[in-house]
Amino acid sequence: MKLIENLESIEKHYEDITNELSKPEVIQNRDLYQKLAREQSELYPLIGEIIKYKKLLAGIEEAEELIGSSDEELRKLALDELDRLRRERPEFEKNLILMLIPKDRRDEKNVIVEIRAGTGGEEAALFASELFRMYSKYAEVKRWKVEVIDSNVTGLGGIKEIVASIQGKGVFSRLKFESGVHRVQRVPSTETSGRVHTSAATVAVLPEAEDVDLKIEEKDLRIDTFCAGGHGGQSVNTTYSAVRIVHEPTGVVVQCQDERSQLKNREKAMKVLRARIYEIEQEKLDQERARDRKSQVGTGDRSQRIRTYNYPQNRVTDHRIGLTLYKLDQFLEGALDEMIEGLVAYFQTEKLKEISALEEATDGSGA
């Protein structure tokens, strides 16, 4: 049975990890030890369920044997027990399959969020600003910390581009489906005829990479410093506190000028650099995931959308799952959970379908 084979393989893997963690050479290798300990911790709840499932199967086998007993009372008890265990089995197996869905190892990571104005000029920049405020409000509800790394603000209060770090428990697991083009339909404040305009902004959500995930060699970096700039490009201070870092092997360029301290700007810029390079490396290892950043956010054209925010109808629609909520005002104040739960459920179901199809194909080929 395919499920039993999978469970036995997981048990063997858990046992191997446990044995590795007891080896002196592994204990001395901090990075490897942390990696294995984290994997063991992630598998522990599943191992507990596997043990319970095996007890259930053993109970079924024992009850089936006792049915043939000549003792009528014992036979009746065995039939009742068998009926109960057989009724429990499907639900147990369903829960196990859900737990077997490959967990995204990045789910517990902090994130780098990048929001950029797309089609629509100043109106798109204002919408980008509102998206950032929306995510900041959601972070406040979740007790996450938001830290701006770099921003390019327009004279009217819009945002051409903003890069921020969001830190807290399970941030990536909640925000990873926000990557893409967000479209807005509303009457701009500058529109005298009352005509509804459409504009767009792009969002990219990247998991923060730690040193244990990614090693960046200092020799591969080119670091420039310059005076931080304000509106219109003028320098806002006379010290070279702003930092631009180029990772020469990949060509990735990041900069940070939000802090007055060059050291702090460098630390923030390195966060973004690690996140972007980590994303590139992960894509090489897993082609089923989202493509690269440019594919995630598209070109910023209003036709490449994942979600539409319609102000006149107080409506927000996610086009991937067909979910429409008529509470845009609450949504923009950070009430995102209903939409996010819908996205999580949808993509979990899709993953289950993939696993079922793969198992059917495997069983068929072995017939």
Both 56 and 122 in a single domain? no
Distance CA 342, CA 348 (A): 10
Return the top range by mean pLDDT from 150-164, 236-250, 315-329. 315-329
Both 215 and 71 in a single domain? no
Q: To which residue do tokens 């940070």 refer?
A: 256
Q: What is the residue range of 185's domain?
A: 111-346
Question: Is position 81 within any domain?
Answer: yes
pLDDT > 90? residue 160? yes
Both 223 and 147 in a single domain? yes
Both 186 and 230 in a single domain? yes
Question: Is position 192 within any domain?
Answer: yes
pLDDT > 50? residue 340? yes
CATH number at residue 69: 1.20.58
Reported as a pLDDT band with limits 50, 70 and 90, residue 19 is: very high
Three-state DSSP string of 263-276: HHHHHHHHHHHHHH
Reported as a pLDDT band with limits 50, 70 and 90, residue 211 is: low
Per-residue pLDDT tens over the stretch 145-155: 999 998 899 88
pLDDT > 50? residue 252? yes
How many other C-beta atoms are found inside a 10 Å radius of the C-beta of residue 197? 15
Question: Is position 301 within any domain?
Answer: yes
| pLDDT of the residue at 188 | 83
- Once rounded to an integer, what is the mean pLDDT over residues 39-63? 92
First and final C-alpha spacing in the chain? 13
Per-residue pLDDT tens over the stretch 120-137: 889 999 999 999 999 999
Both 125 and 240 in a single domain? yes
Higher-confidence position of 250 and 332: 332
Nearest Cα neighbor of 100 from 58, 57, 53 is 53
The beta strand positions in 187-284, using DSSP E, are 197-207, 221-226, 242-247, 252-256
Instruction: Report the SS3 class of residue 186.
Output: strand
Q: To which residue do tokens 């069983």 refer?
A: 363
Distance CA 225, CA 242 (A): 5
Both 65 and 121 in a single domain? no
> What is the secondary structure of 92-150 as a DSSP string?
HHHHHHHHHSPP-TTTTS-EEEEEEE-TTHHHHHHHHHHHHHHHHHHHHHHT-EEEEEE
| pLDDT of the residue at 288 | 47
Q: To which residue do tokens 């921020």 refer?
A: 164
Q: What's the one-letter identity of residue 80?
A: D
Both 238 and 317 in a single domain? yes
Question: Is position 362 within any domain?
Answer: no
| pLDDT of the residue at 155 | 83
Both 229 and 325 in a single domain? yes
Contact, 93 vs 147, CB < 8 A? no
Neighbouring C-alpha atoms within 13 Å toward the C-beta of 86: 10
Distance CA 279, CA 286 (A): 10
- Full-model pTM: 0.68
Across all residues in the chain, what is the average pLDDT? Answer: 85
Per-residue pLDDT tens over the stretch 74-124: 989 999 999 999 999 988 887 887 777 777 778 889 999 999 999 888 999
pLDDT > 70? residue 292? no
Both 254 and 339 in a single domain? yes
pLDDT > 70? residue 212? no
Indicate the number of domains in the chain.
2
| pLDDT of the residue at 313 | 96
Diameter of the chain by CA atoms?
A: 96
Question: Is position 78 within any domain?
Answer: yes
- Once rounded to an integer, what is the mean pLDDT over residues 250-255? 90
Q: In this structure, are strands 252-256 and 242-247 parallel, antiparallel, or unpaired?
A: antiparallel
Neighbouring C-alpha atoms within 13 Å toward the C-beta of 306: 20
Percent of the chain with pLDDT over 90: 50
CATH number at residue 287: 3.30.70.1660
